[in-house]
Amino acid sequence: MDTPLRIATRKSPLALWQSEHVAARLRAAHPGLEVVLVPMSTRGDEQLDRSLAAIGGKGLFLKELELAMQRDEADCAVHSLKDVPMELEPGFELPAVLERADPADAFVSNTFDGIEALPQGAVVGTSSLRRQAQLRARRPDLLLRDLRGNVNTRLAKLDAGEYDAIVLACAGLQRLGLDARIRARLAPPDWLPAPAQAVVAVETRDGDARVASLVAALEHGPTRIRIEAERALNRALHGSCHVPVAAYAELDGDRLQLRAWVGSAADGSGVQAQAEGVAAQPQALGKAVAADLLAQGAGRFLG
């Protein structure tokens, strides 16, 4: 294995942690393989003065990394799968998804123990329309403000007193050794995450057999089944960061259950649905739950 495997990655501490984790797993699976990181800055990382929805969506985190692969400056890229669009650009594939970490959201505050403990009109920061919609559903009195930047930047804004609380992903805090900042877990079934939240995925050029065979060692089958259902639902709803879609699948033997919710970041109104199916057909389950949501009028929340 004389040819190094080059991993394109964003420069944020969390992205670098995820890429280092993938690199370590690859070295363990393939003794003698040299793995190097190719850190890059993306437009999504650079434009922090506006919401992701306003500047084009989470796909902005992928574009530069895909261009690096096209220019043969990198062999693969590591992503948080929740940031990956439902349809990849032509010429790319996702041959490996790693085992899912904690899918819950984290309520983070220096003063209050949870959403219900917040005072009337408290200021809560989150950049996610899905989180805003679920916060509005529980506490319509809260003042919600956009929050961008990497995890440490967001925590610094909280610590500076700009917010009474913020909502982040548990997995991101845990991966950075910041578990102690989690005051409360916002978890299923009462609070649903983004589709594929807490899942790390490896993207490669379509048809690159060498790289696909190397990263295949990281594939976690049960996680793949769950995220196929969640992403199929999101795809059927044409979901993106412009739309507050929440979904969570649970696998029990050969049975798969999917819960989903679609709502409004403006007033917290929404519709929910759930169904169970065979694990061998996760996409069919995702489409069925999406159809249920649409039958209940979810279209009015989908722009």
> What amino acid positions are annotated as catalytic residues?
83
Query: Which amino acid, residue 193?
Result: P
Pairwise CA distance, residues 201 & 190, whole Å:
26
Q: Is 4 exposed, middle or buried (0-12, 13-18, 19+ CB in 10 A)?
A: exposed
Kindly state the DSSP code that residue 30 receives in the 8-state scheme: S
Contact 229, 249 (CB under 8 A): yes
Contact 189, 87 (CB under 8 A): no
Kindly state the DSSP code that residue 213 receives in the 8-state scheme: H
Contact 234, 86 (CB under 8 A): yes
Compute CA distances 275 → 191, 257, 298, whole Å: 17, 6, 16
Kindly state the DSSP code that residue 98 receives in the 8-state scheme: P
Pairwise CA distance, residues 156 & 162, whole Å:
9
Q: Is 295 exposed, middle or buried (0-12, 13-18, 19+ CB in 10 A)?
A: exposed
Kindly state the DSSP code that residue 217 receives in the 8-state scheme: G
Contacts of 203 (CB under 8 A, 6+ apart): 62, 65, 66, 69, 76, 77, 78, 79, 84, 88, 92, 93, 94
Contacts of 30 (CB under 8 A, 6+ apart): 1, 214, 217
